[in-house]
Amino acid sequence: MIESLVFYFLAFLVIGFAVVVVTSRNIFHSALALTAALSVVAGIFALLGADFLAASQVLVYVGGIMIIMLFVVMLSQQPTDAIRSQSNPQWPFALLFAIAIAAELVQKYRTFFGAVEARPGILPTSAPIGRLLLTEMVIPFEAVSLVLLAALVGAVVFAQDRQESRLP
């Protein structure tokens, strides 16, 4: 009962913040609402018993990705942004498309998984995830470290100022 109340509260919050993210005229407000929405998703992970993921969601998304995104928002603002519309002319079709996809997904989920409600006790997950990452998932684990290295080098290459380096 109390779990259901918490779930509906968190779901209401995350959908509200997500709507603010896609509709706000000020992109800075969008970024702040996205920060809040990602924090609430961490709460949903905790409700599902994924304690390690809730912590890493806050650390990586809220602490890392959102700070970079706020920096880029502040570096790329123009004074005319506030008075121009932030959605393109085909937004009614996009809205129809999104509503169709949402209705279809919810209805199909209800058809196929509406009866599943088995819910055992919640166990700590950090140690099993660590064991999984270093035994059966060790090859993807190493591959993803290479991907991170490539992303690091790529970010440095793209973000450097070519004009200054060409000067004699």
Partner 1 sequence: MRLYHFLALSGILFSIGIYGVLSRRNILGILMSIELMFNAANINLVAFNQFLYPGNVWGQGFVVFVITLAAAEAVVGLSLVLAIYRNIKSVYTENMNILHG
Residues 64 to 103 in contact with partner 1, rule: CB under 8 A: 64-65, 68-69, 72-73, 75-76, 78, 81, 85-88, 90-91, 93-95, 97-99, 101-102
- 86: closest CA among 137, 153, 9, 20? 20
50 binding partner 1? (CB under 8 A): yes
Tokens 């700070």 found at: 67
Calpha distance 99→104 (Å, rounded): 8
27 binding partner 1? (CB under 8 A): yes
Burial of 10 (0-12, 13-18, 19+ CB in 10 A): middle
Calpha distance 57→46 (Å, rounded): 10
Give the one residue of 83, 159, 164, 167 binding partner 1; rule: CB under 8 A: 159
Q: Quote the least distance from Cβ 168 to partner 1, whole Å.
A: 21
138 binding partner 1? (CB under 8 A): no
How many residues touch partner 1 (CB under 8 A)?
84
